[in-house]
Chain A
């Protein structure tokens, strides 16, 4: 299947174009970032700072906490059932295939994909790496071992899930969840300093092996023995945990998957609380755009996470207003060292860019959330521009609201010279990123006839397109900062890009598969 996907990609011009944009775009953004920011001194200072603040034991415990969180996540999650799909249910679950065979094949597929992404990512971030004076091999080692470590954690989470399933079959008593406490203790015990500082055997625990590799590769708090011993132990841990989890996979996971898949179809607890009314006969608006917006607003509100988003916006905004007005002494803003003052402003802008990018993911999903209903929407007597504008306006509100607390935090904690003026750039960024999200989201049913799944090239191109446009916007502002022309150039740039994306969205709506 992987091979087929690859063949399809290189034969389909639109997919090739999107992959091309993604890889070249990341490379371009990476070149811009490395030109604007000099990472060399930052990396060096970071090393010194870490050695001042942390001790070796804390690093080992921190890695243990990562493992612990995976175990807890795995215990409450689906475990190996997470690799199953609806297609598997139709074909494989009813076939004479052993569960461990299915798990292993799925896992290997996932691993191959990850390896390919790592290589593409390494190529793309090469300019930043060379700007930071980081050697390629240590970075490569660190990246690979980080992934192996996370994979081991995933396996440990899967093993925790197995114990939960088996325990659940025996008892429904809530006391059974004490097992998770036991697992947490088991994960954290080997990471305490008295264990990690005394013996090499402590590296049998994957989190210790990884912490050891990190210290040796970065040179921060290292013993100077080199990372090889840690690598061997981590690889061993990976193999053992992979085989162990594979051996544990049984038919019970089909049930876990079927239950989880069925749960999506029944009404959630939150949607029962947040019901609301979408009665179009009572609405004051007689515009299709407002109907679509109302429909989207309420259907989203009934999804479990949406309500928390608004709770976060309300409490986050109150908190940042409090911070910026009261300035509590026990929560002092970050002091930027004088050595870093030259890179502080670009770094500030980069953080703003990334944060707004994160908030704008909502706009990308506004079409995917429609699932197959997108075809009903398309078949209804609405103009494509009404649909696009409705999605854009609602997303603009959501992205704008969710950006407020983040920007408030940045303004308070990362106070660089002229931060107030720089923060105003957030508004055009929100306008542009939301429009690009809508346009790219509208292209999903053009790429696939399963509009529930966001195709990889589209998902990848979204941050790349945004970061590129954001970088160009910042470069424009920097170049024309002292010219009156900026008053014309900036709105023109923003409006042109927004209209271009909305037009692209309309075009996509007229080209569905």
Chain B
């Protein structure tokens, strides 16, 4: 991706990258092709120096065993078993209050389970939270972000948090800004963005890191326009091929049906169905698509 991404960068971005990489620009005008080549070579050299080993997720990348979560007297999740392998997109579907969001919040280490084990990338989320979180990309149900940061600042901040070298952040940022049509908002304050653009910003904030990821997305299509939704779905497929493990919680069953390889259907804190769409349809007597399977397992198909 690197060379093609650098080639697509704007002139300002190239100069910014040159500053970060300390590539000297001696004359007032330089040839774009020369600068691109210089930057690309310097990035290669830096990469070789760092000698980063290519990351690979263990199988399963997400391993949840017998996880339960209570809020006071309310049982939010009851003895959930869930595995997500690298190169797999799993859809977590269920009605409101089924326990999907709680599952994602436990998985990302925001809240602790009352029982069971949760490991991400082979790291127990309770015993080694930092190592586990290093792999996780999380989009919450209600996207929120720091309103006083500009989009650029936020993306650079995310790069810093996840220890991505500045030059890598700049190149990846430029690539994904184009992919999610966010470039015009780069210097806008996050507090002034629309919901869709905020969602795009959060997504780019994850993708500035080096894959593979363990993605926990809660309603990722929320607020995105058709083009944004299409870009995201296409990119999730690419990430899947590269070995990321993806868990998507959504109510939009048409999206889930086309996006996910496997489904876990939850109702009243319990798993009521799991498997590929084919397996779920085979188990059902009446259902002909995911929506009907969902309705059948969560209270019956209305007449």
Report the minimal beta-carbon distance from A129 to chain B, rounded to whole angstroms.
33
Q: Report whether B130 and A90 are in contact in the complex, using a CB–CB cutoff of 8 Å.
A: no
Report the minimal beta-carbon distance from A244 to chain B, rounded to whole angstroms.
22
Partner-contacting stretch, out of B104-112, B219-227, B294-302: B104-112
User: 8 Å CB contacts to A: which residues of B121-136?
Assistant: 126, 129-131, 133-134, 136
Q: Report whether B161 and A96 are in contact in the complex, using a CB–CB cutoff of 8 Å.
A: yes
- Enumerate chain B residues within 8 angstroms of A94, measured Cβ to Cβ: 108-110, 133, 136, 138, 216
B144: which of A4, A86, A95 is its contact (CB, 8 Å)?
A: A86
B133: which of A95, A259, A448 is its contact (CB, 8 Å)?
A: A95
Closest to B139 in A: A90
B146: which of A91, A254, A262 is its contact (CB, 8 Å)?
A: A91
A448: which of B145, B191, B202 is its contact (CB, 8 Å)?
A: B191
- Enumerate chain B residues within 8 angstroms of A449, measured Cβ to Cβ: 191-192
- Enumerate chain B residues within 8 angstroms of A91, measured Cβ to Cβ: 145-146, 158, 202, 205
Q: Report whether B192 and A95 are in contact in the complex, using a CB–CB cutoff of 8 Å.
A: no
Report the minimal beta-carbon distance from B293 to chain A, rounded to whole angstroms.
30
* Docked CA distance A259–B110 (Å): 11
* Docked CA distance A97–B145 (Å): 16
Q: Is A383 located at the chain interface by the 8 A CB criterion?
A: no
* Docked CA distance A92–B138 (Å): 10
Q: Is A201 located at the chain interface by the 8 A CB criterion?
A: no
Q: Is A380 located at the chain interface by the 8 A CB criterion?
A: no
Contacts A1-B149, A87-B145 hold; do A258 and B161 have CB atoms under 8 A apart?
Answer: no
Q: Is A8 located at the chain interface by the 8 A CB criterion?
A: yes
Q: Report whether A450 and B110 are in contact in the complex, using a CB–CB cutoff of 8 Å.
A: no
Contacts A96-B134, A96-B162 hold; do A5 and B143 have CB atoms under 8 A apart?
Answer: no
User: 8 Å CB contacts to A: which residues of B2-37?
Assistant: none
- Enumerate chain A residues within 8 angstroms of B138, measured Cβ to Cβ: 90, 94
Q: Is B140 located at the chain interface by the 8 A CB criterion?
A: yes
Q: Is B117 located at the chain interface by the 8 A CB criterion?
A: no
Report the minimal beta-carbon distance from B31 to chain A, rounded to whole angstroms.
36
Contacts A90-B202, A95-B133, A96-B161 hold; do A4 and B109 have CB atoms under 8 A apart?
Answer: no
Q: Is A382 located at the chain interface by the 8 A CB criterion?
A: no
Fill in one digit per residue for A419-455: 1 if any B CB lies within 8 Å of its CB, else 0: 0000000000000000000000000000011100000
> In the complex, how many residue pairs between chain A and chain B have their CB atoms under 8 Å apart?
76
Fill in one digit per residue for B86-112: 1 if any A CB lies within 8 Å of its CB, else 0: 000000000000000000010011111
- Enumerate chain A residues within 8 angstroms of B168, measured Cβ to Cβ: none
User: 8 Å CB contacts to B: which residues of A87-122?
Assistant: 87, 89-98
Q: Report whether B140 and A95 are in contact in the complex, using a CB–CB cutoff of 8 Å.
A: no
Q: Is A55 located at the chain interface by the 8 A CB criterion?
A: no
Fill in one digit per residue for B145-177: 1 if any A CB lies within 8 Å of its CB, else 0: 111111001000010011000000000000000
User: 8 Å CB contacts to B: which residues of A62-90?
Assistant: 86-87, 89-90
* Docked CA distance A251–B133 (Å): 12
Q: Report whether A89 and B145 are in contact in the complex, using a CB–CB cutoff of 8 Å.
A: no
- Enumerate chain A residues within 8 angstroms of B109, measured Cβ to Cβ: 93-94, 251, 254
- Enumerate chain B residues within 8 angstroms of A51, measured Cβ to Cβ: none
- Enumerate chain A residues within 8 angstroms of B148, measured Cβ to Cβ: 1, 4-5, 8
* Docked CA distance A90–B219 (Å): 13
Report the minimal beta-carbon distance from A158 to chain B, rounded to whole angstroms.
20
Q: Report whether A87 and B111 are in contact in the complex, using a CB–CB cutoff of 8 Å.
A: no
Q: Report whether B191 and A96 are in contact in the complex, using a CB–CB cutoff of 8 Å.
A: no
* Docked CA distance A259–B102 (Å): 12
Q: Report whether A254 and B111 are in contact in the complex, using a CB–CB cutoff of 8 Å.
A: yes
Closest to A97 in B: B161
* Docked CA distance A96–B162 (Å): 7
Q: Report whether B161 and A8 are in contact in the complex, using a CB–CB cutoff of 8 Å.
A: no
Report the minimal beta-carbon distance from B202 to chain A, rounded to whole angstroms.
7
- Enumerate chain B residues within 8 angstroms of A87, measured Cβ to Cβ: 144-147
Closest to A6 in B: B148
* Docked CA distance A369–B231 (Å): 39
Q: Report whether A258 and B192 are in contact in the complex, using a CB–CB cutoff of 8 Å.
A: no
- Enumerate chain A residues within 8 angstroms of B144, measured Cβ to Cβ: 86-87, 89-90
- Enumerate chain A residues within 8 angstroms of B147, measured Cβ to Cβ: 87, 450
Report the minimal beta-carbon distance from A256 to chain B, rounded to whole angstroms.
10
- Enumerate chain A residues within 8 angstroms of B150, measured Cβ to Cβ: 4
* Docked CA distance A262–B191 (Å): 23
Contacts A97-B161, A98-B130 hold; do A255 and B146 have CB atoms under 8 A apart?
Answer: no
- Enumerate chain A residues within 8 angstroms of B134, measured Cβ to Cβ: 96
- Enumerate chain B residues within 8 angstroms of A8, measured Cβ to Cβ: 148, 189
A251: which of B71, B112, B158 is its contact (CB, 8 Å)?
A: B112
* Docked CA distance A107–B233 (Å): 40
User: 8 Å CB contacts to A: which residues of B178-226?
Assistant: 189, 191-192, 202, 205, 216
A96: which of B105, B111, B130, B153 is its contact (CB, 8 Å)?
A: B130
* Docked CA distance A251–B130 (Å): 10
- Ranked 7 nearest A-B pairs via Cβ: A94-B108, A94-B138, A96-B133, A96-B134, A4-B148, A1-B148, A96-B130
Q: A90-B140, A251-B109, A258-B105 are in contact. List 9 more A-B contacts (CB 8 A).
A: A5-B148, A87-B144, A89-B144, A90-B145, A91-B202, A96-B133, A97-B161, A251-B129, A450-B191
23 example contacts (A-B, Cβ-Cβ < 8 A) are as follows A1-B146, A4-B189, A5-B148, A87-B146, A90-B138, A90-B140, A90-B143, A90-B145, A91-B145, A91-B146, A92-B161, A93-B109, A93-B110, A94-B110, A94-B216, A95-B161, A96-B161, A96-B162, A97-B133, A251-B109, A252-B112, A262-B71, A449-B191
